[in-house]
Amino acid sequence: MTTSAWGYEETTSAEPSGGTDLIGLGRRIRSLRKDRGLTLAELADRAGTATSQLSVIENGRREPRLSLLQRLADVLGTSVDALLGAEPGNRREALEIQLERAQRSPFYEQLGLPTVRVSSALSTEVLEALVGLQEKLAEALEKNSATPEEARRANVQLRRLMRAQDNYFPDLEQAAKELLTLGGYSSGPVSNSVISEMVGRLGYSIHHVTDLPHSTRSVTDLLNRRIYLVQSPRADHDPRAVLLQAVGHQVLGHEPPKDYAEFLAQRVQTNYFAAAVMLPEDKTVPFLLEAKRNRNLFLEDLKDRFAVSHETAGHRFTNLATRHLGIRTHFHKVHSSGVIHKAYENNGLAFPTDHTGAIEGQISCRKWSGRTVFDQPNQFTAFAQYTDTPSGTYWCSTRTELSSQGVFSIGVGVAFTDARWFRGRDTPHRTVSTCPDPSCCRRPPEELSRVWAGHAWPNTRAHSHVLAALPEGAFPGVDEREVYEFLQSHDGA
């Protein structure tokens, strides 16, 4: 991969591009069949397939083999290219396709509404009304989410890129390796002194101050090649990581971001780079491979081996697990309130999303380990749990960490079949989640609803930041005047 893989203009999606439009294909086959005066059974018989098979194809639920598609085209007097590429034949067909697509979207499923069977019995007027309603709903949602929309969409695109790459980026690994070599690192945890040596050899000096601008974790003076850090690092930010993130922008050749998508990509790159320095690939991979051979993978061991936080160890594991261990993973960081702050998956776990596909800010299922860990008597040790979900059964090891923003659960999990490689696989804890079905954990129990429905009026704790537009400037949220005044006050010191 080259740095262009981060594609600030447009990132790569994990979903295959140019795939067959099954709904459109099915509708075209059905429309041509009816135009030819054929019943479902007659067309199936002439094409040499079962009626049930043809039915699911027409309903857009199965992709036919090319040989069957060719036979269907021959019987219907058309070509395969025409079946695959033709525009809807008329307004009615277009409406049917549009409604089917809307009803099969993840967002519609989360609404918990019944689906309407799209058939000839449905009048064109009803189709127009239903499709129009879907469009107006989408417009309303778009309007309501216009202020944070750029951030959410950028986050979704970035996560797709990460999933497509299995969260492994060779160029960032190489940059970290070169910096470690420059600093003379040999083995063990990467100490502050080793990192200071790296920074010095890059031509920067480190300055600890007490008046760092409140909106920053560090400030780099590019004129005098100085990196300013706060005198007393906050407990929830490893000072090594903060310094490496500051250095990472320079090592990776970042320019001031032109939009939020580029800002977010740069932030993710520097976080990855910092973790790749603190847990070097050539030292971490053999450690993990040995643990896998012994069926003894355990995130706490990785954390202790390299003296990093549980969250950093979890992130780093997702970087290396798929590429080097052949294990697909998921990661979550969930606040004690249930709000998801960070999430990643390449193993099929269906995190809750909004209509844009954004996960951050959504509420995690109460049955998932990211929530059940808060009910455990000892929350600060690893808690393992199996969870049956509509997308499969997953094992997850989770523990909590305290930060200035509250208590968070940090978890790394795998599909059931990969649990065999991990310590904690024999856990007795198991739950069943049916989310996004509201009856799973969001809808109040019937006995409580009977008593309290219509008799409760909660005073919502408003999160005012979600109502605000993204801050202006190259670095959102940073007070540029405060930064310049800070640099001026320290210039020549």
The pLDDT assigned to 467 comes to 44
pLDDT of 476 > 80? The answer is no
The pLDDT assigned to 60 comes to 83
- Who has greater pLDDT, 130 or 281? 281
Beta strand pairing status for 340-345 and 330-335? antiparallel
pLDDT of 431 > 80? The answer is yes
pLDDT of 136 > 50? The answer is yes
Averaged confidence pLDDT in the chain:
85
Q: Which of 52-66, 344-358, 381-395: highest mean pLDDT?
A: 381-395
Measured between alpha carbons, how far is 413 from 319 in angstroms, rounded to an integer?
A: 13
Share of the chain above pLDDT 70, in %: 87
Measured between alpha carbons, how far is 248 from 232 in angstroms, rounded to an integer?
A: 22
Mean pLDDT of the region 467-477: 56
What pTM did the predictor assign?
A: 0.70
Q: 39-53, 147-161, 410-424: lowest mean pLDDT where?
A: 147-161
The pLDDT assigned to 253 comes to 93
The pLDDT assigned to 11 comes to 33
Residues 416 and 386 sit within 8 Å (Cβ to Cβ):
yes
Cα separation of the two ends of the chain? 42
The pLDDT assigned to 403 comes to 83
pLDDT of 477 > 70? The answer is no
pLDDT digits (tens, 9 = 90+) for 16-38: 334 567 888 888 888 889 889 99
Q: Before 286, cis peptide (omega within 30)? A: no
pLDDT of 146 > 80? The answer is no
The pLDDT assigned to 111 comes to 73
The pLDDT assigned to 89 comes to 66
Query: What one-letter code names the amino acid at 401?
Result: E
Mean pLDDT of the region 476-489: 79
Measured between alpha carbons, how far is 306 from 308 in angstroms, rounded to an integer?
A: 6
Measured between alpha carbons, how far is 109 from 435 in angstroms, rounded to an integer?
A: 10
pLDDT of 470 > 60? The answer is no
Q: 72-81, 142-151, 249-258, 424-433: lowest mean pLDDT where?
A: 142-151
Residue 82, helix vs strand vs coil:
helix
pLDDT of 145 > 50? The answer is no
- Would you state the structure tokens that stand for residue 359, as one six-digit string? 């996960």
The pLDDT assigned to 14 comes to 34
Q: What are phi and psi of 35, to 5 degrees?
A: -60, -35
Mean pLDDT of the region 443-463: 77
The pLDDT assigned to 80 comes to 86
pLDDT digits (tens, 9 = 90+) for 324-343: 999 999 999 999 999 999 99
pLDDT of 246 > 50? The answer is yes
Angle, helix 239-251 to helix 260-278, in steps of 10 degrees: 120
The pLDDT assigned to 321 comes to 97
Q: 108-112, 159-163, 299-303, 428-432: lowest mean pLDDT where?
A: 108-112
pLDDT digits (tens, 9 = 90+) for 283-327: 999 999 999 999 999 999 999 999 999 999 999 999 999 999 999
Q: Quickly state the pLDDT bin for 3 (edges 50, 70, 90).
A: very low
Burial 142-177 (b: 16+ CB within 10 A, else e): eeebeebbbbbbbbbbbbbbbbebbbbbebbbebbb
Beta bridge partners of 394: 387, 415
Q: Collect all residues with Cβ–Cβ distance below 8 Å to 178 and sequence separation of at least 6.
A: none
pLDDT of 395 > 80? The answer is yes
Measured between alpha carbons, how far is 130 from 168 in angstroms, rounded to an integer?
A: 43
Q: Which of 11-25, 142-156, 195-209, 351-365: highest mean pLDDT?
A: 195-209
The pLDDT assigned to 488 comes to 87
Instruction: Work out the burial of residue 342: count CB atoms within 10 Å of its CB; fewer than 13 is exposed, 13-18 middle, 19 or more buried.
Output: middle
> Could you give the angle at the alpha carbon of 263 between the alpha carbons of 258 and 266, nearest 5°?
120
Measured between alpha carbons, how far is 235 from 337 in angstroms, rounded to an integer?
A: 21
| CA distance readout (Å), 251 to 177, 180, 273, 322, 425 | 12, 12, 10, 26, 40
